[in-house]
Structure 1
Amino acid sequence: MTKPALTLYMAAPRGFCAGVDRAIKIVEMALEKWGAPVYVRHEIVHNKFVVDNLRDQGAVFIEELTECPDDRPVIFSAHGVPKSVPAAAAKREMIYVDATCPLVSKVHIEAQRHSERGLQMIMIGHEGHPETVGTMGQLPDGEVLLVETVEDVATVEVRDPDKLAFVTQTTLSVDDTIDIVAALNARFPAIVGPHKEDICYATTNRQEAVKAMAPKCDAMLVVGAPNSSNSKRLVEVGARAGCKYSQLVQRGTDIDWRALDGIRSIGITAGASAPEVLINEVVDAFKDRFNVTVEHVVTAEENVEFKVPRVLREATA
């Protein structure tokens, strides 16, 4: 039986970003230096395949520092942690390695500097997301107020409208954030924004690639985890950019073939914490069922690399 023809558009950039790559290397190098088990507070990145792979190598994933013994190393996830966490680790004289993405750390430093100038912070982010929790936890309670939507801006109660600054979670929808920032500027004309956009280069680049690809596609799949903020934003961006069927899949076995019946073109992308092996698995699943022609939609080139902490570079030198 002849396979139906399918054009498969591959977004570029897609998948791993420099912060995710660094965080995974940190866990692997820590296991190499100190042996198993090495404890990791929260999933190092939001991807089950990655976490399971590291668990198989001897990483133990915990949600709170209290679950970690004093005599084993602990790593803080790429999303960042409140200041209280490294302080508690230091008090217990634990070995700890901070795998916070440098672009998230930049937001932490920004918030601290604004606070030192007497400004109350407003954070644009998702309540309960580890990155939001970590950034808000850089300052005392009440010093960082969270807004998630334009509607939230209208009701947020601030200490002094003339002494405000804002920061954003790094993995938000660029388009949504523009609207929220506009609402903040309209209500609080004196509010101070970041010197440079907080939404990270990888989030922006992956969303731009989806916007370029979506109008060409009957359907689009985003390879990523359900708890990955940047992956879920890609699904939303695809739908808004004109792709009628835009869905998240964790791997090839999750594809809903009935929903894709009759398609002639599909776009594939991946969130910043999804490894290329899972993207290839999805592509191979289509090649099994279709006569596939692959086209690449390239909107940016990425060559960013972040160094791992010195304690690990010294260990493996």
Structure 2
Amino acid sequence: MTSSRSAMTAAAPDPTTAPLPPLTIALAGPRGFCAGVDRAIQIVERALQKFGAPVYVRHEIVHNRFVVDSLRAKGAVFVDDLAQCPADRPVIFSAHGVPKSVPAAAEARRMTWVDATCPLVSKVHMEAERHAEDHRQLILIGHAGHPEVIGTMGQVPDGAMLLVETVADAETVQPQDPAALAYVTQTTLSVDETADIVAVLRRRFPEIQGPRKEDICYATTNRQAAVKAMVEGCDAVLVIGAPNSSNSKRLVEVARNAGCSRSLLVQRAADIDWTQMDGIRRLGLTAGASAPELLVEEVIDACRERFAVTLEHVSVTEENVVFKLPAILADAPAAE
């Protein structure tokens, strides 16, 4: 991808005060909300409009505390297990996807349920089902314990899917039949690391089948490419995102691997350790796919209290992806 840069200089500091040190903030683009996250948040908001509060949500709808707290204030109730939901209230499944057993349990209790699974995660689920039906064992490249991984592994019978997390795992994994093997991936992985893992699998198992189109989602790919374009010359990089957000943590890794060792994950401006910003002249700034732009603006404002800020926009592409809402919410009014 090619990148474009444009600069905008902040107003000069008040001459009656000590001059603030200069700081250029390189803003990566794209950053922040992806189409799947935007859709999931809309689903909760429209469900509240249609059904009234409370509406129950199984697990965090997306991995961002600010977003979850905002929806909680509107009447969403977040629970860890379907058993915590009353049968007479709607329940929403998170954007990360759920095992097949979860909607089956909701059906058994005759609950109203809405699936907010990102359509790109659903694509992986359908790939896994297709391979299982064709009697292929599956390898899932992903991170153990992540909700998306739990949901994907729950699409096929026990034992039909093996989890591979690292290149070392790929070198040692032992499928039942290498001639009847396929792989899928978590959608929020490091593009480069995943390519290394796939290369090992293809070397060891030449007949392995992969997805027709890359499973790592467009938003993850674009945000990582933007960080690579933005990071040159940066003394530090801040990634706004939650500590349990896979795509946000991968952005930190990408920045470090690209040469900026002082790359940090923060949830919002209040979490910044300003002693780690001492002496910086150029700061890279981005946000994971679950982080709202409001938190980016908050960090910029916090920087302006300490530096004379110049903003530089580093963009690798424009995103215009929009996902449809579930049919059950088609007649629900948009949140005000």
TM class, shorter-chain normalised?
over 0.9
Question: By how many angstroms is 1:200 displaced?
Answer: 0.1
Q: Is 1:239 the counterpart of 2:256 in the alignment? A: yes
Deviations 1:55-100 (A, max 9, x none): 0111000111011111000000000000000000011110000000
- What amino acid does structure 1 have at the position aligned with 2:305? D
Question: By how many angstroms is 1:216 displaced?
Answer: 2.4
Query: Which of residues 283, 293, 298 is equivalent to 1:276?
Result: 293
Deviations 1:141-172 (A, max 9, x none): 00011000011112222110100000000000
**Who is 1:117 aligned against?**
134
**Who is 2:54 aligned against?**
37
Question: By how many angstroms is 1:117 displaced?
Answer: 1.1
Q: Is 1:70 the counterpart of 2:118 in the alignment? A: no
Q: Secondary structure at the match of 2:331?
A: helix
Q: Is 1:150 the counterpart of 2:171 in the alignment? A: no
Q: Which runs of 5+ in 2 are unaligned?
A: 1-17
- What amino acid does structure 2 have at the position aligned with 1:306? F
Q: Secondary structure at the match of 1:221?
A: strand
Query: Which of residues 111, 130, 135 is equivalent to 2:147?
Result: 130
Determine which structure has greater relative contact order: mean sequence separation of CA pairs < 8 Å that are 6+ residues apart, divided by chain length: 2
Deviations 1:14-60 (A, max 9, x none): 00000000000000000011011100000000000000000011100
Compare 148-157 and 178-187 and name the one that shifted more. 148-157
Query: Which of residues 59, 63, 68 is equivalent to 1:46?
Result: 63
**Who is 2:41 aligned against?**
24
Q: Is 1:266 the counterpart of 2:270 in the alignment? A: no
Q: Secondary structure at the match of 1:314?
A: coil
Deviations 1:179-220 (A, max 9, x none): 000010011111001000000000000000000111121100
Question: By how many angstroms is 1:291 displaced?
Answer: 0.5
Query: Which of residues 151, 164, 180 is equivalent to 1:163?
Result: 180
Identity percentage of aligned residues: 69
**Who is 2:230 aligned against?**
213
Q: Is 1:8 the counterpart of 2:25 in the alignment? A: yes
The structure 1 segments of at least 4 consecutive aligned residues displaced by more than 6 Å after TM superposition are none
**Who is 2:218 aligned against?**
201
Question: By how many angstroms is 1:310 displaced?
Answer: 1.0
Q: Secondary structure at the match of 1:289?
A: coil
Q: Within 2, Cα distance between the matches of 1:6 and 1:237? A: 22
Q: Within 2, Cα distance between the matches of 1:110 and 1:278? A: 35
Q: Which runs of 5+ in 1 are unaligned?
A: none
Question: By how many angstroms is 1:299 displaced?
Answer: 0.4
Q: Within 2, Cα distance between the matches of 1:242 and 1:125? A: 25
Q: Within 2, Cα distance between the matches of 1:177 and 1:155? A: 16
Question: By how many angstroms is 1:301 displaced?
Answer: 0.5
- What amino acid does structure 2 have at the position aligned with 1:164? L
Deviations 1:79-127 (A, max 9, x none): 0000000000011110000000000000000111111111111000000
Deviations 1:229-264 (A, max 9, x none): 000000000001111210001001111111110110
Q: Is 1:108 the counterpart of 2:133 in the alignment? A: no
Q: Secondary structure at the match of 2:168?
A: helix
Q: Within 1, Cα distance between the matches of 2:80 and 2:295? A: 26
Query: Which of residues 267, 272, 286 is equivalent to 2:303?
Result: 286
Compare 237-246 and 22-31 and name the one that shifted more. 237-246
- What amino acid does structure 2 have at the position aligned with 1:252? A
**Who is 1:185 aligned against?**
202
